[in-house]
A = this chain, B = another copy of it.
Amino acid sequence: MTLRADARRNRARILDVAEKVLVERGTTVSTEEIARAAGVGIGTLFRHFPTKEELIQGVFVARLHRLADDATRAAASPDPGAAIAGFLREAAAQGEVKNALAAMLTSAGVDLHEAAGEAQQEVRRALGTLLRSAQQSGAVRRDLEVADLIGLLAGTSKAIEYAGQDAAARERIVGVILDGLRAPS
């Protein structure tokens, strides 16, 4: 069931462009506009994603996969404390996109956990190992669970959104979270 070369190319291109366009202009953009931006006919777009909703989910899942990759890489670091800090900064910085996408899905009445599915599990697993080693090295308080960390990540990127381009403010906010992660309960 391998896709033809052009089909695979187009699918990737649609996902890529759709992410940009959706984040820039919101879910209200027409599928036609996305297709045009991707340099593809509407027919093609709908063959790959039979529904606008499925397209948005596809974009979201792709984003999650990339996040999972980052998390896996971070989990392999020898200094888990620094890794978690770096990951937080990174995720926070790039998080606006994910925020916007997640917001779209929920505001469109889609259940996130269902939509994310397998990709969500990947992220969870990678963050799990990262968290556990950070806790064993004493860098992070022991009462935290993976779900808490995920929530805090989402929260941090949300908080960062409000700081806009102000680098100092971003750093203050990340600082607050990092200190909170460290402090004993």
Contact = CB atoms under 8 A, between A and B. Distances in A.
A130 interface: no
A37 interface: no
Interface residues of A, number: 44
Label chain A's interface by main secondary structure: helix
Nearest to A185: B175
Contacts of A182: 183
Interface stretch (A64-72, A73-81, A159-167): A159-167
A161 to B, nearest CB: 7
A27 B104 CA distance: 10
A125 B93 CA distance: 28
Interface of A: 25-28, 100, 103-104, 106-109, 141, 143-145, 147-148, 150-152, 154-163, 166, 169, 172-173, 175-183, 185
